[in-house]
Structure 1
Amino acid sequence: MEIAIKLFQFILSISILVILHELGHFLPAKYFKTKVEKFYLFFDPWFSIAKKKIGETEYGIGWLPFGGYVKIAGMVDESMDTEQLKQPAQPWEFRAKPAWQRLIIMLGGVTVNFFLAWLIYSCLSLFNGEMYTDLTKFNNGIGVTEAGKKMGFQSGDKIVSIDGKPAERLENASINILLGDNVTVLRNGKEVTFPVNKDGVADVLKQKEAKLYITPRFPMIIDSLVSPASKASGLTKGDKVVAVNGKQTPFFDEVSSTLLENKGKTINIEVLRNGKTENVSTAVDKNGKLGVAVDQKALANVVTNKKYSFGESIPRGFERTIEALTMQVKQFKIMFNSKIQGYKNVGGPIAIVKNMPVDRAADGSIAINWAAFWSFTAMFSIWLAFLNLIPIPGLDGGHVIFTLYEIIFGKPVPQKVLENAQMIGVIFLLGLMLLIFGSDIFKIFTGKL
């Protein structure tokens, strides 16, 4: 049931984005009286699920749900249908239109993607506001993993800025740090700026939950006992762990790291119970866990829920769109960094479906989290806009580059060059798709997905 809901969300999101993106090409093409032969949701190699011809255009749904397309007469596209290009250009063909009209047609898709993201983010800001983990409320600073320490952090640091820009939200900061160069923290009452160690970044990216390398510091208070060993230990709900084996551990991250040092051993824990100190002996499992659930109420104190008026939501929606776009551009820095090897963490459709958000009720039922769904759709919309603008033949960006060349130099790129470039682009994109799918499948079989 859960995977069906996640798959439904993915297909719905992709369908919305593809239809609107292709409309961005379709509408200006029709406005400039250019013949559109096909308008397809999803790809249709060999056969389609449904199709109907209305006027000069065949509308259909393909069986391969990884995009869609409009086939415009007189244009070299991914179909590699060049037969019509051997004939003299007709007035209704793409190649017969002025370069500025062709440029508008090609930029239509990414323009729609950008404004769609802006609209969604504005609506989310207006109707849902923004809930985030507020770094300014981390009164005890941050707790960091070993990977975080390798990056240059110390437990207790208070993050001030990243690359000179103030840091307010943990959700953004945890990613920006991975993409950034320098971080400024408040450490022992003094501001300290240090370069982000890329070896630490590489270690963080190897983890499934990369954002957990930074957490707010809070005391470890036991909420419930889960394992048989913890139930037999004498620990009770409400116990506050203050020391392990005589070592003071006032915060959860310190308890956690000390437990990892004592995997499979029996330890002595000092807890504060009803205002009194008690000593308890208990076993640590092979994963460095006590088998208890930790009270999370302290985390609520560092959460901010910011509301926006109608007038505020529109510029905030634009800001969120630019933030998402900037994040996509920055991620290429990680992907192509040979030391970090971020390309190993690239996920494809299988990974996306697996990580689609759902709501889980107390009775175990699962439903769609619509706010999270629309947030994902906005992010994915701006992601598609960015990808399509990359100047690779086969993508909108490739066509834009060739058209700009014609506008600047006053002569079109030779038809044979366009055909060869398109072929190279299609082969590259197919290879990239196989690589991403292969990565997903490899991760499934190795337990990394």
Structure 2
Amino acid sequence: MELFIKLSQFLLSLSLLIILHELGHFIPAKLFKTRVEKFYLFFDVKYSLLKKKIGETEYGIGWLPLGGYVKISGMIDESMDKEQMALPPQPWEFRSKPAWQRLIIMLGGVTVNFILAFVIYIGMAFTYGDTYIAMEDLQDGLLIENPVLDKIGIKTGDKILAVDGEKIAKFDTDIIMKVILAKKVLIERNGAEATVTMPKDLVDQLSKVEKGSLISIRMPFVIGAVAAESRNTALQPKDLILSLNGQKIKYFDEAKTILEANKSKSIAAVVLRDQKEVPVSLQINAEGKLGVQLGGLGMDSLEKLGYYKIRKQEFTFFEAIPVGIEKGKDQLIGYGKQLKMIFNPDTGAYKQVGGFKAIFDIFPSTWSWEVFWRLTALLSIMLGVMNLLPIPALDGGHVMFLLYEIVSGKKPSDKFLENAQMVGFVLLISLLLFANGNDIYKAIIGK
């Protein structure tokens, strides 16, 4: 069932983005009276799952879910329809339209991608508001679970005050990517501020250690379940451990140190159960564990217990507009920085480029419309930016040649465009194989 939910979200998001992207080409083409021969979700190599011709356009769904396309008459694209291009130009063909109209048609897809992302962020701000923990309210700092960050100088208990001069006012899901992409991180430790210089190859270093959440809020030690083979039958689900071996603990990361130091020993402990403090005796095994599964507390419970102050900000529709635009701008800038890292061999970030499995894996195994729309907005920005890259066979490649034509007044020959399209196609296939090959390699080695 979990696989079905992930797959449903993945296909729904992908289909929505492809259809709207292609509509971005389709609508201006129609407005400029350019014939559109095909409009397809997914590729119909050899055959299609569904198809129906309405007017001059065949609409359909292909069987290969690697994207989608609109086939515009008189345009050198992935169809490489040389027979049509050998005939005299017709007034309804793409090649017969003024360069400015062709430019608008080619920019339509990425324009829709960017507009969609900003509309989603505005809608999310209006619908869900903003729930967060202010950085100033993290009295005991953050939990740093990765040894790479710990080694370079960002440790558990630190607060992150700024990234490359940008103040970090609240803890949210974006903070991890901001730190990974940063050159300088300003932290506060025990009331003193310090600047940490981030290594160029941080992404590569992170890829070589066991995966997990890099930065998160510190959580209490709550019992989720007691294993059948555990000797600690005195523990019950939902118990919150307050002290171990006479030492008060507030967070699970503090408990780990005490357990490690008392392997194979019996120690006294105090748990909070039904709002009462209950003394228990615990047996620690040879691995420094209690034989329990960790449980979790909701944000409301954490607030009631005095761990965190949860802030909730709601927006009217008009207030949500600038909030959503700012969120979209941040995501756009952030993805641009990621691409810059990928194309810089020194960072080693190219080793972490993923394909369809990587995209599939970001969707959760439980359905959440809030998460779905957040991921769809992010993917829309990624699709828009990637399509703008000046690579022949991508929208950005067509735009590059059209801009050359507008500036120089000279149109590249059909033969040149055909060759460029073929080079771009080979490059795209190579990138596709590399990205999905990375997925396979990481699956094999378990990283």
* TM-score relative to the length of structure 2: 0.87
Measure, in 2, the Cα distance between the counterparts of 1:394 and 1:326. Answer: 24
1:240 matched to 2:239: no
Mapping of 1:205-216 within 5 angstroms?
Answer: 205-206=207-208, 209-210=211-212, 212-216=213-217
Encode CA deviations 1:226-267: one digit per residue, 9 max, x unaligned.
234644375563332356xx98865432333565688xx424
Measure, in 2, the Cα distance between the counterparts of 1:34 and 1:208. Answer: 53
The equivalent residue for 2:287 is 285
Measure, in 2, the Cα distance between the counterparts of 1:199 and 1:72. Answer: 44
Structure 1 unaligned spans of 5+: 360-367
- The residue type paired with residue 177 of structure 2 is I
**Alignment check: 8 A CA contact 1:205 1:342 kept:** no
The equivalent residue for 1:194 is 196
Measure, in 1, the Cα distance between the counterparts of 2:331 and 2:286. Answer: 42
The equivalent residue for 2:125 is 125
Mapping of 1:13-412 within 5 angstroms?
Answer: 13-145=13-145, 146-167=147-168, 168-198=170-200, 201-206=203-208, 209-210=211-212, 212-218=213-219, 220-228=220-228, 230-232=230-232, 237-242=239-244, 251-256=251-256, 259=259, 265-267=263-265, 269=267, 271-273=269-271, 280-285=282-287, 290-294=291-295, 296=297, 299-300=302-303, 301=308, 303-359=310-366, 368-412=367-411
TM-aligned CA deviation for residue 302 of structure 1 = 5.1
TM-aligned CA deviation for residue 199 of structure 1 = 5.6
Structure 2 unaligned spans of 5+: none
Encode CA deviations 1:68-105: one digit per residue, 9 max, x unaligned.
11111111101122222223322221112111111100
**Alignment check: 8 A CA contact 2:282 2:290 kept:** no
Encode CA deviations 1:371-403: one digit per residue, 9 max, x unaligned.
221222111111111111111111100000111
Pair 1:225–1:97, CA change in 2 (3 A): closer
TM-aligned CA deviation for residue 407 of structure 1 = 1.1
Pair 1:201–1:19, CA change in 2 (3 A): closer
2:43 match: secondary structure: strand
TM-aligned CA deviation for residue 206 of structure 1 = 4.1
Pair 1:319–1:433, CA change in 2 (3 A): same
The equivalent residue for 1:438 is 437
Measure, in 1, the Cα distance between the counterparts of 2:96 and 2:321. Answer: 39
TM-aligned CA deviation for residue 136 of structure 1 = 2.9
The alignment covers a number of residue pairs equal to 433
Measure, in 2, the Cα distance between the counterparts of 1:183 and 1:10. Answer: 34
**Alignment check: 8 A CA contact 1:110 1:389 kept:** yes
Measure, in 2, the Cα distance between the counterparts of 1:310 and 1:142. Answer: 33
2:412 match: secondary structure: coil
Pair 1:276–1:355, CA change in 2 (3 A): closer
- The residue type paired with residue 335 of structure 2 is Q
* TM-score relative to the length of structure 1: 0.87
TM-aligned CA deviation for residue 180 of structure 1 = 0.7
TM-aligned CA deviation for residue 63 of structure 1 = 0.8
- The residue type paired with residue 162 of structure 2 is S
- The residue type paired with residue 381 of structure 1 is S
Measure, in 2, the Cα distance between the counterparts of 1:53 and 1:214. Answer: 52
Pair 1:354–1:229, CA change in 2 (3 A): same
**Alignment check: 8 A CA contact 1:204 1:213 kept:** no
TM-aligned CA deviation for residue 275 of structure 1 = 6.3
**Alignment check: 8 A CA contact 2:203 2:349 kept:** no
Pair 1:269–1:326, CA change in 2 (3 A): farther
Measure, in 2, the Cα distance between the counterparts of 1:129 and 1:403. Answer: 42
Encode CA deviations 1:187-233: one digit per residue, 9 max, x unaligned.
222221121134654343445655x2223235x43434523464437
After the TM superposition, which of the residue ranges 422-431 and 5-14 deviates more from structure 2? 5-14
TM-aligned CA deviation for residue 268 of structure 1 = 5.7
**Alignment check: 8 A CA contact 2:124 2:370 kept:** yes
**Alignment check: 8 A CA contact 2:234 2:280 kept:** no
Give me the identity figure in percent: 45
Encode CA deviations 1:272-303: one digit per residue, 9 max, x unaligned.
457698774411538x6753425536755254
**Alignment check: 8 A CA contact 2:148 2:205 kept:** yes
